[in-house]
Amino acid sequence: MKIGFIGLGVMGKPMSSNLLRAGYHLVVLDLSKASMDDLVALGAERAETPQEVAERCDIIITMLPNSPQVREVILGHKGILKGIRSGSVLIDMSSIAPLVSRELAKTLLVHGVDMLDAPVSGGEPKAIDGTLTVMVGGPKIIFNRCLPIFSAMSSSAVHVGDIGAGNITKLANQIIVALNIAAISEALVLATKAGVDPESVFEAIRGGLAGSTALEAKAPMIMDRNFQPGFRIDLHIKDLNNVLDTAHELGVPIPLTASVMEILQSLKVDGLGNNDHGAVIRYYEKMSLVEVKRPIAK
């Protein structure tokens, strides 16, 4: 069985590397020749178009920036639909609008192709070490068939419902992550402005109800002034745009998410869109005229 992997960016490249390490045969495609060269050096085969990937593979994975790119790769000129065979499976691991996932799945099903929407959480570090969380929507029988593939890239893959449910779950995840980071930022700025060591605050609260994966991941980075992207502000803006669009379509008010979206937009205007989303703290620091960092050792 050959797997096609389209999209070798910050997430897709390490994910495809882990598939190769697990023994899968890969055909890869990306706009970056250098990224393809790196994967070919690890044993992958290269392709020139999405159509060629589909012609050569039984399962095709896409890991792309957003809905328009996924739609273009599947339906566009020399797209996947031009080459895919009945009985094949398309797994879209991008984070896109759930209604787009449903639209594409209907089109593919007419051609005898099943689709899973399977966005991931964990950012680049977990993509590298193969411990991503995968949220999967689509036919349960197809999920079960693809579970070994997910296991090669993740520590958790959960079937959450019909097609589109994976991306709905990812949107819920992104709401919680965004609000967590904003809360962490407010708390650490407050402590710093009051003259309390933020590292001591972190150690004191991490084992209680305020403890979270977000706190464990982001508080040390903030105090080290490390805003190298595990997940860029620009990408979180993209996800929250999908959150807000979907919520408005469904008639669901989400005022807290809307507030964090404005914070992210402010940071983008300040030229920080490529920073890790932990840089939300820089918005609060700017307003409060403090900087959250570890105390200087004496």
Boundary (domain end) residue, out of 162, 181, 200: 162
Please list, residue by residue across 104-125, b when 16 or more beta carbons sit within 10 angstroms of its beta carbon and e when fewer do: bbeebeeeebbbbbbbbbbbbe
**Whether residues 32 and 154 fall in one domain:** yes
- The pLDDT of residue 41: 97
Q: How many whole angstroms separate alpha carbon 79 and alpha carbon 16?
A: 20
Q: How many whole angstroms separate alpha carbon 216 and alpha carbon 212?
A: 6
Interaxial angle between packed helices 233-250 and 98-110, expressed in degrees from 0 to 180 and rounded to the nearest 10:
80
210-216: average pLDDT: 95
Boundary (domain end) residue, out of 133, 162, 191: 162
- The pLDDT of residue 34: 96
- The pLDDT of residue 230: 81
Q: Is 170 a catalytic residue?
A: yes
Active-site residue among 78, 170, 268, 293?
170
- The pLDDT of residue 297: 62
Q: How many whole angstroms separate alpha carbon 111 and alpha carbon 200?
A: 59
**Whether residues 140 and 8 fall in one domain:** yes
- The pLDDT of residue 123: 85
- The pLDDT of residue 197: 96
**Whether residues 204 and 134 fall in one domain:** no
51: pLDDT strictly greater than 80: yes
- Alpha helices, DSSP H, located in 208-270: 213-223, 233-250, 255-269
Q: Is residue 296 part of a domain?
A: no
Written as six digits, the tokens of 31 are 């706009």
Mapping DSSP to helix (H, G, I), strand (E, B) and coil, where does residue 240 land? helix
**Whether residues 44 and 181 fall in one domain:** no
Domain enclosing residue 274, as ranges? 168-288
Question: What is the 8-class DSSP label of residue 279?
Answer: G
**Whether residues 40 and 63 fall in one domain:** yes
Strands (E), the chain: 2-6, 25-29, 45-46, 59-62, 89-92, 114-117, 120-121, 132-137, 154-161
- The pLDDT of residue 248: 94
**Whether residues 131 and 218 fall in one domain:** no
**Whether residues 44 and 149 fall in one domain:** yes
**Whether residues 28 and 100 fall in one domain:** yes
**Whether residues 135 and 84 fall in one domain:** yes
- The pLDDT of residue 109: 97
117: pLDDT strictly greater than 70: yes
Q: Is residue 297 part of a domain?
A: no
Q: How many whole angstroms separate alpha carbon 279 and alpha carbon 148?
A: 35
Question: What is the 8-class DSSP label of residue 273?
Answer: T
298: pLDDT strictly greater than 60: no
Q: What is the CATH number of the domain that holds 25?
A: 3.40.50.720
Boundary (domain end) residue, out of 130, 162, 194: 162
Q: Taking a C-beta distance cutoff of 8 angstroms, is the pair 31, 6 a contact?
A: no
- The pLDDT of residue 210: 97
Taking only the tens place, the pLDDT of each residue in 152-162 is: 999 999 999 99
Taking only the tens place, the pLDDT of each residue in 60-86 is: 999 999 999 999 999 999 999 999 999
Please, how many CA atoms are within 13 Å of residue 86, restricted to the half-sphere of its CB?
A: 3
- The pLDDT of residue 28: 98
- The pLDDT of residue 231: 87
Q: What is the CATH number of the domain that holds 242?
A: 1.10.1040.10
* % pLDDT > 90, the chain: 96
Q: Is residue 269 part of a domain?
A: yes
- The pLDDT of residue 56: 97
**Whether residues 38 and 146 fall in one domain:** yes
**Whether residues 153 and 27 fall in one domain:** yes
Q: Is residue 295 part of a domain?
A: no
Question: What is the 8-class DSSP label of residue 46?
Answer: E
Q: Is residue 278 part of a domain?
A: yes
Those residues with Cβ within 8 angstroms of residue 46's Cβ, 6 or more apart along the chain or in another chain:
27, 28, 29, 36, 39, 40
**Whether residues 173 and 137 fall in one domain:** no
How many structural domains is the chain composed of?
2
